[in-house]
Amino acid sequence: MDYDVAIIGGGPGGSTVGAMLRKYNPGLKVAIIEREAFPREHIGESQLPAIGAILDEMGAWDKVEAANFIIKLGATYTWGKTKDPWVFNFIPPAEVRNDPRPGKFEGWRQRVAFQVDRAIYDQVLLKHAAELGCETLQPIAVTGVEHEGDAISGLRLSDGRRVTARYYIDASGNAAVLRRAMGVKIEAPTLLQNVAFWDYWSRPGMNAKLLDSATVRIQIRSLPYGWIWYIALDENRTSVGLVCPSDYFKNCGLTPEQLYADSMAAEPTIANMLSGSSRDGQVRRTTDWSYVSDRGHGQNWFLVGEALGFADPILSAGMTLTQSCARHCAYVILELERGQHDRSWLLDHYDQIQLARVRQHIKFADYWYSGNGQFLAVRENCAAIAAQAGLKLTPDAAFRWLSHGGIDDDFGNSATGGYSVSGIRGIQWRLSHETEGIVRNQVDGKTHFKLRLDGADQVLLPRLLNGRIHPITAYVRSGETLPLAGGYKLAVEALQKSPLASELMKHLQGAAKGLAPQDQKHLVETAIQCLELMVTNGWVKTSQERGKPALSVSSPLEGQIIYSAR
């Protein structure tokens, strides 16, 4: 059984790698080895918008959309300074259209996400990879990994067969078959060591009131010792889980069943939504300890998704990290096959980018936990997390801390930890305990913007597009990176022509001409948010001159993206 690529794990990570490889190089012989029979239940049902573009590129969007998964518009939280619930949206609700399903990957659908039943979702993706030509070996487990030094020479399977390949990919989740076999160490760069307990609840129409123009938000509710997720999977069924520190669980004296039942009854909103519903009846349990591997590849193998690293689920980023990582892995193998880029450049950047993304999400989770005033029973633990991270909860200090060394989901977008700059600004105010003032943008009220590239080195970064890796220029200085792509490139080009705010806006609006109105708005906003990060990280110096037009960029406490639920 000899292949070009052998993938361990048939979940979203393995399916994404396999589908991408076969789409762009149909001549590759790819095997996906999955130990379980699908469909099978799996945790991690809530997505972020970045997955939509990956599904579309894989050619799986129409199949996923045909499954009629509920559309996720954002989240509703009780988290931060008060017990009052607040809302986070991916897009303003006014942009949502009650379009017929299945819908195309266009317009507002490009900037929202899904909440999925993983038993169905994972089966759809694995079947899609098989239809593209991947050979699926299922249910068959990998029982042994043969290797000489850092090179893998074969895999032994539970049915007695042996698989050989030129490339091996570990997409086996926290089982981490290759990572463990190859002795790759992991680091837990945070004191967050949580456990999760969950079950599924059903009642006809139980989620009807949550639907807003056929979209829904994940519900997050804080308790003194942890938090509850409520993920509507359809109108009649919901995934409901509790996350709390492992030490709290060990010391509370309750069984998982008792702790779970008590928690569901203790939070009024959750208790009300579950009233009259029936449970599957089995409390599932898993550890939610954040970790990241020392490296993401070896001589002829790669780690993908949770085999590479895991970040606390508060940000709902698990599947986004996994499928983005899987896409990058496929692109690297495609380019290694072409032989047109330096091997070390491809592999080193795979490690740097994917490990940094996991670390940034872990860092952001630290901030979320440290800023939750509702965690009364675990307040000392949250204080210790903040102290270990060197985190101060003033808005300016927190924003600098979060943006320093942050890695975008895609070069050119002003995202860090999965949230845009405007999203982070709004979240800051609700999590900060040291100020009641408005969180201000550094570009607000400024008339002049001077680009500062002195002392920076030029490097090449990999940008993934249409099955090819394209080197793009970036500047690096003091641990900060400025990629010349997307909104950053637009902002740099504008500032190279003129330092004036008025000219900056003319350039951005000109670049957006010809796009649909909402896309024009989104492009200009992205560039301005990139400019905000450039100012924060020292790439741009600002000044004010009376009588000159100034940028007006606000992060209102009650806006269209973030606002109080009332």
Supply the pLDDT for residue 427: 84
What domains does the chain contain, in order, with CATH numbers? 2-42+51-62+116-185+290-357 (3.50.50.60), 392-555 (no CATH)
Residue 46, helix vs strand vs coil? strand
Residue 416: in which H helix or E strand, if any? strand 415-416
Which residues contact residue 253 at a Cβ distance below 8 angstroms, ignoring those fewer than 6 apart? none
Residue 341 confidence (pLDDT) above 70: yes
Supply the pLDDT for residue 436: 65
Residue 512 confidence (pLDDT) above 70: yes
pLDDT tens digits for 154-201? 999 999 999 999 999 999 999 999 999 999 999 998 999 999 999 999
Residue 291 confidence (pLDDT) above 70: yes
- Measured between alpha carbons, how far is 319 from 334 in angstroms, rounded to an integer? 22
Window from 129-133, 159-163, 225-229, 480-484 with minimum mean pLDDT: 480-484
Residue 330: in which H helix or E strand, if any? helix 318-338
Supply the pLDDT for residue 411: 79
pLDDT tens digits for 3-58? 999 999 999 999 999 999 999 999 999 999 999 999 999 999 999 999 999 999 99
Rg of the chain in Å (alpha carbons) = 24
Q: Mean pLDDT across the chain, nearest whole number?
A: 93
Give me the mean pLDDT over the 492-520 stretch: 92
What letter represents residue 233's amino acid? L
* pLDDT-derived band at 405, boundaries 50, 70, 90: low
Window from 154-168, 337-351, 376-390 with minimum mean pLDDT: 376-390
Supply the pLDDT for residue 433: 65
* pLDDT-derived band at 409, boundaries 50, 70, 90: low
- Measured between alpha carbons, how far is 223 from 266 in angstroms, rounded to an integer? 8
In the chain, the percentage of residues whose pLDDT exceeds 90 is 78
Supply the pLDDT for residue 407: 58
Supply the pLDDT for residue 413: 76
* pLDDT-derived band at 137, boundaries 50, 70, 90: very high
Q: How many CB atoms lie within 10 A of CB 436?
A: 9
Q: Phi first, then psi: give them for residue 440, nearest 5 degrees.
A: -100, 145
Supply the pLDDT for residue 402: 79
pLDDT tens digits for 434-480? 666 677 789 999 999 999 999 999 999 999 999 999 999 999 998 88
Supply the pLDDT for residue 404: 72
Residue 439, helix vs strand vs coil? coil
Q: Is 30 exposed, middle or buried (0-12, 13-18, 19+ CB in 10 A)?
A: buried
Residue 420 confidence (pLDDT) above 90: no
- Measured between alpha carbons, how far is 322 from 510 in angstroms, rounded to an integer? 36
* pLDDT-derived band at 417, boundaries 50, 70, 90: low
